[in-house]
Structure 1
Amino acid sequence: MLTIPTSYYSAFETIQNIEEYFEGKVNVDRHVELVELSKQIVILTVHNAKCFSMQWQAFSSVDVNHPPELSILLHKLGQFIFSSRDCKNVLVSGYTLGVRGICESFINTAMEELKTKKAWKLLYQSVGPIAFCKLLLDHIILVGLPSGSFYQLSGYPINELNILTTPSRKRDAPEPSKTIDSKEYIKRPRLSRRQKKRMRTIPESEESAVYKKKSIEVNIDRSIGYTSFSHQRSIEPPPMLLPKNHILHESRMKRKDYIKQCLEMNKDIKSMSLSYGQVAFFLKEQLKKSIPLEFWGSQHNFDVIFRAIKHFVGRNKNEKISMHEILHQFKIKDCQWLSPASGKASCLVPSDLGKRKTVLMQALRWVFHDFISIFIRYFFYVTEFSNEASKLFYFRKDVWYRITQPFITTVIHSNNYHLINPSDIQSLKLGTQSSSMESRPSANRMLEPILQTLNFEREQHPESVGSAVQYHQLFDKLKNYKQKLRRLNSSKSLYFVKVDIASCFDTIDQDVLLQSLKDTLKSDKYIYRYIHICNLSSGGITTKGSKIIGTPDRMESLSEHTTKLKNLNRGAIIIDQNRSYSKQMNEILELLEENIKRNVVQIGNNFYQRKRGIPQGSCLSTALCDFFFGAFENNNLSFLKEDSNGLLLRYVDDFLYISPYRYYAQRFLETMITELPSYGVEVNQDKCFSNLDQDIKEFPWLGYLFNTKNLDVHINVTSYAFLDIQSGTTVEYNKQPGKALFFSQMRSIKHKLQDILVNPSFNSRPAIIRNLHDNFYIAARKLEIHVSKILKSPGGRYNAKFMLG
């Protein structure tokens, strides 16, 4: 039997199966097909649904005594749906109305099932044409899928319905009193809309804002500072220059020595960044010069704003500051420009005070969004580093120019790029945005179908990507390998070899990559089919789109596609749009070649075309890397197939080989070092690691520790240093910090409860206990940092009852 989500019962008027709908008039048990059909479908009735079956009877004039065949009936039903204004039905999606009736433009999944499935013909013969058409027109039929979701077979498209999944909590208006209220005659008389409009002195949107207690979020503009050539925008006047033949030019440092000095200076780039206090103090001084103290009302209020600026500057990338924090301890009555004309600020009524507070909030929002952010953008380069995920670093623009200029010069004069004419960019489909008014979609949006095509071929031909794995595939690979090792009953330690590629994306041979892609794309044509996925949440229906990809001779069904969808909720409703488009293989290869060989990079005012490597910001980067190294493995690492007890894993460009035999582990490492340069890439030997020459109990890879004897997997706690946790912890400063803290801790703990760490069929009991301990230890460190950040925020306080339970 199907499991119906509880949200359905409040969203629809009735939920029935076949027997309940026909009230026992259909004997389902007589046919096995009807028994299976009754277990698969659900019949829904929408609140206040329109009855189209009555119009259908007047339109069709079907002879009940001599009913037509089901296919003819469905054809007439489609003509009726097209002729009706209000009637919409998923049965006719993909059809068009022609001179001879409806014509099928795309294959309709629902209509094909009704025509071909024997159970529907038996049901049609049992109930007759009128009851059968009433079922299809006035109700919604859902068919259950193995994943616990449904797809809509007939009825009004659910994604276009206005459905509330929870009943309204608004109180009904009280009935008019039958007795006369003594206060009724002294109440203010009701005004008409025109009278209200004449009396209104402020816009309704601003007036209503007084009574809405909404926290205005002020976010740092994350697009600030991502311009390296800051010297071209310097606000200082250009310095006086010496004549070309002046003697002081002879004592100037040579370019080679200058670059060497810059490289030595850049060994610790972080030390050249400014502290948050220095940045905040600079903004404070600019604020003093630009805005008089009378605007703030008092020195106390200015100090409150400066405190908010320090928090604004010092927070992590994804952290916000609310207006509630900015105005904490701010004295509104000190601002004379907010006081009434009479000067009696102490006599303000709450509504008047609320309006003045709203005006102040709008002014402060301008200060943070359009004043402070502009100063940060023009005076500092704000960036982050990979080892400190969300922490922001502020560099003076002239210092950042000195840091980056040697590297940019090296890149420009290398053989990886060559200068191109800006006019050549307009001919590229994936080029940069032109200066004309014509808008062009982003490159990643245009490449999205290409990525889906490559993923489709990857599923059809897994050997094309070699040993490439994703995080969710890692557990299955290791579990099967560990079961194989248990059958060997060997007590010897395993040999681990980890190989890292130096500058992988920048050095990939483009011709080798394109040839491997040409060998991978097997079909001349690829079809992309649209579907909608609807979820019934507490606020109504949320809809997102998806695509099913296939070829003319291989197209997945809805049930096959749903098993591969990630984050598909149980009870989700899938609607086949019956719309599709296709791409020829030549068109796909043309876009791939343009993305790989004609990729354009803008440095300053010049444009350079890449001659080696692939772009890192593209959505195709990881997939292209998988196919490139897949070709290398198939051509150069075929000897590993002789080691039936070995396992090769690769996550993007990080290789890991595990084997009980030293010979194969040693040969793998030597092959990677000697044969990879023929593909344009080289091994970073400083980051390569193995236990061939030393005894290692736990081998690190991808944030895990692998036991070299029994292959138990642990959390690598050493990688979670205090600074890494502090920079990676994002705090939500909102009205309910305790609730945000609780959900943040739950997400942190659940993220580490992976099968590879806590599954008893894979890890031993001591390993699971250790992983749980390390998981809660990391969560405790995050809790400490989270609470300390909240306490340091304006208005932060410690609730002992909440923290201690």
Structure 2
Amino acid sequence: MAKKKRRVPDVLWRLFHNHARTLFETIKSLIPPLQTSAADCRCNGRGCLSCGGANSTAFILTPTDPPEYRKLLNHCFVVLDENAPALSVFQPQHRRSQFEIVRTTIEMMMSEHPTSSNLILHDYYKTSCPSSISALDLLTSEAWCLLLKRVGDVLMVYILRNFSIFLPLPQNKLHQVAGFPISDLCLTSSKRTALGSAGSGKRKTTDEMWSMSMKHLCSRLRITKEESPKETLTSGGDSCISKGSHSLAAGQVSSNHCLSSNRKRKRPNSWQRRRKRQLLATHEAHSLNPCRNSTEIEEPPSTLPHKIHTVGWCSCCLVFCNPLKDIDEVIISRNAMLYKLENCSTVFPRKHILNSLKHNSSGANNLFNEIFGSCGVTINGQISPCVHTTKCCCTRATCLYHSLIRMLEVLIRKSQCCRHLRLLEKHCPIPSLDEVLERVSFEDYQGNQSTVNPGAKDPKHSDELMGDSFSSETRERSEAQHSKIRPSVCYSLKKQVVSFIWAVCRNIVPPDLLGIPSNWRILTKNISRLIQMRRYEKFSFNQCLHKVKISRFPLLSGMFKDCGGIGALDVVKHKVLHCWIFWFFSYLVVPLVQANFYVTETEHENQEVLYYRKSIWNQVKAEGRASLNDQQFLELDVPSVSKILRNRAFGFSRARFRPKKNGLRILENLKAPSRIRVKLASQFSDLKKAYPMGKVKYEYFRSVNCALRDLHAVLKGVQVKEPVKLGSSVFNYNDVYNKLVPFLMNIKNGSATIPDAYIIVSDVAKAFDTINQDKLLTVMESIVSDEEYALEKSFQVVCTKRSLWVNQNLTLAHDNIIPSNAFRPLHHVFVKQERGRNVKKGELTFYLNEHIKRNVLLMDTKFYLQCLGIPQGSVISSLLCSFYYGYLENNLIFPFLEKVCKSGNGCEDELVEHMPKYLLLRLIDDFLFISTSRLQASSFFCRLRRGFHEFNCYMNEEKFGLNFDMNHLLGLRSNRLYAGDDGISFLRWSGLFVNCCTLEIQADYTRYLSTHLSSTQTVIWKGRPVRELKSKLCRYLRPKCHPIFFDSNINSAAVVRLNIYQAFLLCAMKFHCYISDLARIARLSTKSYFDVLETSLRHMKKRIKHIKKFTSEIPPIIEVEMGEIEWLGLIAYIRVLMRKQSRYRELLPLLKSKLMAVRYPESLSPALKYATDDIHSSTLWKIRY
């Protein structure tokens, strides 16, 4: 069987396509044909590339070669320079060492091209810097030396001089060491190299049909005019529109020919043949009513410039001769309605066009130009009055143009006198006390799902649920808090928002612009889809037009109905409809939401957005502002802010409130630059007041995160070089795995079971907001201890789904810079690194002090100074928090634990000859403590409850979790302890389930219990839906494909397979939710569904294979077969989709037949039976999907 060709990495494929090849394939292509016989060769019969002939490739790579050499040949990619000369001489002999060849080649290139940008020269300059790895070091390894012996000096020099070389890094990443830097190549063209869009074979859009038909029409008229320039039309038989219709037919023929010129000739579609027959019949038997006088007039010009010279043309027809707005494939911007705080007295925002126009013909004409984009036409010459008869239109006006103008006048007048507040109160009333109690009780029940007692059953009926949860205690508590608005329950429902928007539209928009009543339902559904969009979903123009047809608009469908014309008029009608629908959604629906609602996402609703009436949000915001003083925020005036900003190079941050389940959270945006007015007088401290007339000048400041880049690089370097200063900090699953596995193997001590373990989980209450700023600065003085730090700048080309990015990373200079970046999830190529500047300790201390002690934030129109805690949106926030609590651990917690260990040796419960073993992990502010000593665990728990006054660090009482009983804490209530229907208890910690008895690790899915699963997704409506769905499912599985779930050092065989099964269960549920949302617009075939699920199965098997290459001190042990993975995935998909079998009647038989082909059901192992027993996955079956 032929060996599969190695796939070119995505970055190189985007840039070079097939020109990028492996080093082995390139060398084979450079070897010339057989030159001499083995007897005459210089190798004296020993065998080489010159006399090897067909066996020359076997001489390059042999079965006994070392792994590093094989990796170099098969995983190193090279690209030949397009200006490189051909290899003239081939001599496989070698006489010099690899080091001499590389150095000599570099020196020759430097003498020939001193200013060359070749990376091999760039790295050679850095050999004097001991912290950098140069190309000279990388290209003189043992693998390269062995390659030199095989290929000879001449070929090696040719490769070094004329090829871009990309060496392999861990995790299939690359490092460019020679050639023109691809980062400069990407920056030269664009910082984001967008992918070319597909779909060239699609049917022409309305815009293309319009442009083609008008172009062909003008060319036809020009030819006619040249042939008989004095020919006139004296009868109403033929008109410009009929000729336009006739020309459109020819235009369609030519357009179809253009579309099919590059493909096999085929028969036109039925709709094309039908349109052609109608067109011919219309041209022979009918003619349109004249749109101009029957007197002598000229033909229209050959082109349609901005100035149209006509004699006797009807003005209303000239409006539609101008190309209308190009709006196809446009995204309706939803950003305009997010986070808008402006209070409006009118139905639309203050600067909306409908508020600035007068309800007369002039205002209507301006609005017409705004909607349809016809303002570019200037009429020169004699304009004839409109002569359309009432037979041509079903409206009372004489033509389409005048009908639209009259309707737009009505729209302007009604929009300025609309009583929107009355409609808002009717359709979106303020929630009553009973509604608040109902929402509160429902939220309380959903929150209690994560703390189910062992053996508890899920209620089957929502009525019983509400009846049980809606207790007198809940009523008393809610009534007591009703005066204080709870943001999580005082929003307007989405169906109420849709009802209000449609009521306003019916009130101000003329009925003819909304179509017939059946079209109202369609528009309402499309508005509902816009309102129900999740945070990062995009609403395309095609979704606005979903099921909207011209036949449902009598204004358009009745135009020239008696004539039966189908030519250019059809295109005009489509364009008019498209322009109106686009404007309706973009400039009527969206501004309605913007003016009357505050739209924001929340923490407890995942990706869902909530709609608050502006009056209610103002009350919520006022209560949030009042709480700022309780959180040690000091209000500042503008002069004080100017004084702070005058002494530093960065500005302030903007903040807003985001609702959470029990209050508000402050979000600060430290990524955006800021500005402030120049020379502000003290009397203008309130930004709402009017400022003096004239040009306003601003002073601009860098963003906070941009100014902290050097400090961030230094702290990341300290994290790598001195991890002891971070205490028990972990930052991801890799860190947890690397600390957990050695601990488990230590306490097992070769046994299959572990001794009794005592577990505590806890969380610091308001960790970021309660940090003592002075204490933090004292701690950071010991962290940033050197007087000077050397920084390096590295460049990486990162390949995303749609583009190539050039990332510039600033890092602390040390030897491990390349491996530290080797675990990025995206495909990337490390290009080069340059020596940056040296940063003094005083500069770093100044920026740190300004950031912590003088953190200025702008909330609406007021400035505040943070006096306690640190901002959470900073690029160094997590590092500061980790160093702060790491210092606390090193100085207080670890000495305390060691003291308890020594004092516990004399206790009766402890064995004198054994010291207790313990493990402490902390993810930012979330603690996990495991100990083999009950005394040590209980003492540590008591110490945590007391808190640490010096650090202002206290634990959240509601987030404690223990797997053992303490007599004086019988009433302790925790949401960290969870028990499933199988009676197995777990402690929840940072997205993980820790088994209270066996310390096995499973994924925590309880966070999906509070809301519908679809609220966690972002559906992509454009592009290729099958490809997007495949990518989505792979991304769903990727976080669960970590060795912490599948390593036999941690989990038993049954739990390993249970983790695989549960990952597929969640993936199947998300698959159904995605398909359900996508079905509103498009439906995929059963084969597409099957291909998507097969892709997810292959992806899981591929990820688990790669786990074996995971780099750690103790390699993971993966004891699961690929067939078991596929069987578990199919079982999970079938069981989930069986609950929705009405949608998947055709898909389920395909999955079952594939399941039977796996041949595992006949003899199931105990591990597989345990994994597929749904009582062990009771948490997932409670998820609403």
TM-score range (shorter-chain normalised) is 0.7 to 0.9
Instruction: Kindly provide the amino acid, as one letter, of the partner of residue 458 in structure 1.
Output: Q
Other-structure match for 1:410:
627
Say which SS state the counterpart of residue 389 (structure 1) adopts: coil
Letter in 2 for 1:430: F
Alignment-derived partner of residue 788 in structure 2: 525
The one-letter amino acid of 1:201's match is L
Q: Residue 327 of structure 1 is aligned with which of 539, 545, 558?
A: 545
In structure 2, how many angstroms separate the alpha carbons of the residues matched to 1:310 and 1:567? 37
Cα distance in 1 for partners of 2:1003, 2:254 equals: 70
CA–CA distance in structure 2, aligned partners of residues 615 and 390 of structure 1: 23
Deviation at 1:467, TM superposition (A): 0.9
Percent of aligned pairs with the same amino acid: 20
Distance 1:121 1:308, change over 3 A: closer
Q: Which of 73, 77, 88 is the matching residue for 2:109?
A: 77
Pair 1:500–1:70, CA change in 2 (3 A): closer
Equivalent residue in structure 2 for 1:451, among 682, 705, 712: 712
CA contact under 8 A between 2:710 and 2:810: conserved in structure 1?
A: no
**CA RMSD across the alignment:** 5.0
* Letter in structure 2 aligned against 1:566: R
Q: Is structure 2 residue 459 aligned with structure 1 residue 201?
A: no
Contact 1:649 1:655 in 2 (8 A): yes
Structure 1 residue corresponding to 2:852, chosen from 590, 593, 596 = 596
CA distance in 2, matches of 1:314, 1:523: 54
Residue 990 of structure 2 corresponds to 702
1:538/1:16 CA distance change after superposition, 3 Å: farther
Q: Does 1:613 align with 2:869?
A: yes
Q: 1:226 to 1:724 in 2, by over 3 A?
A: farther
Question: Which digits, 9 at most, give the CA deviation of each residue in 1:256-277, with x for residues without a partner?
Answer: xxxx999544464333111111
Could you say if the C-alpha distance between residues 37 and 334 of structure 1 is closer, same or farther in structure 2, counting changes exceeding 3 Å? closer
Show the counterpart of 1:434: 675
Paired letter, 1:374: P
Letter in 2 for 1:654: D
Counterparts in 2 of 1:48 and 1:396: CA distance versus 1, 3 Å? same
Structure 2 residue aligned with 1:174:
none
Is the Cα–Cα contact under 8 Å of residues 150 and 574 in structure 1 kept in the other structure?
Answer: yes
Corresponding position of 2:824: 566
Q: Is the 8 A contact 2:596 2:613 kept in 1?
A: yes
Q: Which residue of 1 aligns with 2:897?
A: 640
The residue aligned with 2:741 is 479
Q: Which residue of 2 aligns with 1:689?
A: 961
Q: 1:367 aligns with which of 584, 594, 598?
A: 584
Alignment of 1:531-550 (within 5 A): 531-534=794-797, 542-547=804-809, 549-550=811-812
For 2:1056 and 2:142, locate their aligned partners in 1 and report how far apart those are by CA, in whole Å: 52
What is the rounded CA distance, in whole Å, between the counterparts of 1:120 and 1:765 in structure 2? 43
Partner of 2:1146: 801
The question of whether the paired residues in 2 share the 8 Å contact of 1:388 and 1:727 is answered with yes
Which structure carries more relative contact order (alpha carbon 8 Å, separation 6+)? 1
Q: Say which SS state the counterpart of residue 681 (structure 1) adopts.
A: coil
Is 1:210–1:354's contact at 8 Å kept on the other side of the alignment?
no
Amino acid in structure 1 at the alignment position of 2:1035: R
CA contact (8 A) 2:124 2:135 kept: no
Q: Distance in 2 between matches of 1:698 and 1:39?
A: 44
- Deviation (angstroms), 1:521: 1.9
- What is the CA distance between 1:52 and its match in structure 2? 6.7
Q: Once the 2 structures are TM-superposed, how far is the Cα of residue 602 of structure 1 from its aligned partner?
A: 1.8
- 2:332 aligned residue: 218
Secondary structure of 1:505's counterpart equals: coil
Aligned partner letter, 1:434:
R
Q: Give a deviation string over 1:378-424, Cα, whole Å, max 9, x none.
A: 21112233122112111111112222323312323664435252322
1:626 corresponds to which of 865, 882, 896: 882
**Farther off after superposition, 358-367 or 588-597:** 358-367
Q: Distance in 1 between matches of 2:1068 and 2:156?
A: 61
Deviation at 1:313, TM superposition (A): 0.8
AA of the residue aligned to 1:155: G
Per the alignment, in what secondary structure is the counterpart of residue 493 of structure 1? coil
> Aligned partners of 1:736, 1:119: CA distance in 2, in Å?
44
User: For this pair of structures, how many residues does the alignment match?
Assistant: 727
Query: 1:762 aligns to what?
Result: 1050
Q: What is the CA-CA distance between 1:326 and the residue it aligns to? A: 2.2
Q: Once structures 1 and 2 are overlaid, which stretch shifts more, 452-461 or 720-729?
A: 720-729
Against the structure 1 CA distance between its residues 796 and 663, is the aligned structure 2 distance closer, same or farther, given a 3 Å change threshold?
same
Residues 1037 and 1064 of structure 2 are in contact (CA less than 8 Å); yes or no, is this contact kept in structure 1?
Answer: yes
Alignment match, 1:257: none
Give secondary structure in 2 for the equivalent of 1:504.
Answer: coil
Provide the residue aligned with 1:278 in structure 2: 496
The change in CA–CA distance for 1:724 and 1:546 in structure 2 (over 3 A counts) is: farther
SS state at 1:478 partner: helix
Deviations 1:610-663 (A, max 9, x none): 111001122222111111111111111123244651111111111121112122
Please report how far the alpha carbon of residue 445 of structure 1 lies from its aligned counterpart in structure 2 after TM superposition. Answer: 3.1
Tell me the distance in 2 between the aligned counterparts of 1:665 and 1:646.
Answer: 9
Q: 5 Å matches for 1:170-181? A: none
> Secondary structure at the residue paired with 2:729?
coil
Q: CA deviation at 1:147?
A: 5.0
TM-score (norm 2): 0.53
Q: Which runs of 5+ in 1 are unaligned?
A: 55-67, 97-101, 172-186, 191-197, 238-259
Candidates 467, 481, 495, aligned match of 2:758: 495
Residue matched to 2:945: 673
Go from structure 1 to structure 2 and tell me whether the alpha carbon gap of 1:289 and 1:144 turns closer, same or farther (over 3 Å shift).
same
Segments of structure 2 that go 5 or more residues without pairing to the other structure are 33-47, 52-58, 88-99, 202-252, 258-300, 307-319, 351-417, 420-477, 653-673, 677-696, 902-914, 971-976, 978-984, 1085-1142, 1151-1185
Aligned equivalent of 1:12, options 19, 36, 41: 19
In 2: Cα distance, 1:231 partner to 1:507 partner? 41
Question: Take 2:481 and 2:636, find their aligned partners in 1: how far apart are those partners?
Answer: 25
Q: CA shift at 1:600, angstroms?
A: 0.8
| Letter of the 1:77 counterpart | M
> In the superposition, relative to structure 1, how do residues 672 and 121 fare at CA in structure 2: closer, same or farther (>3 Å)?
closer
Partner of 1:470: 731
| TM-score, normalised with respect to structure 1 | 0.76
- 1:514 pairs with 2:777: yes
Code of the residue aligned with 2:721 in structure 1: it is: Q
Task: Work out whether residues 336 and 590 of structure 2, in 8 Å CA contact, stay in contact via their aligned partners in 1.
Answer: no
Matched, 1:312 2:530: yes
> Does structure 2 retain, via aligned residues, the 8 Å contact 1:495–1:658?
yes
For residues 41-80 of structure 1, the aligned pairs below 5 Å read 46=79, 49-51=82-84, 74-80=106-112
Give, in whole Å, the separation in 1 of the partners of 2:78 and 2:1057.
51
| Deviation, structure 1 residue 609 | 0.9
What do residues 314-369 of structure 1 show as CA deviations (whole Å, max 9, x unaligned)?
232223333333222212244466579745685324x8645653553344333333
Which amino acid in structure 2 is aligned with residue 479 of structure 1?
A: V
Question: What's 1:245 paired with?
Answer: none
CA distance in 2 between partners of 1:331 and 1:604 (Å): 44
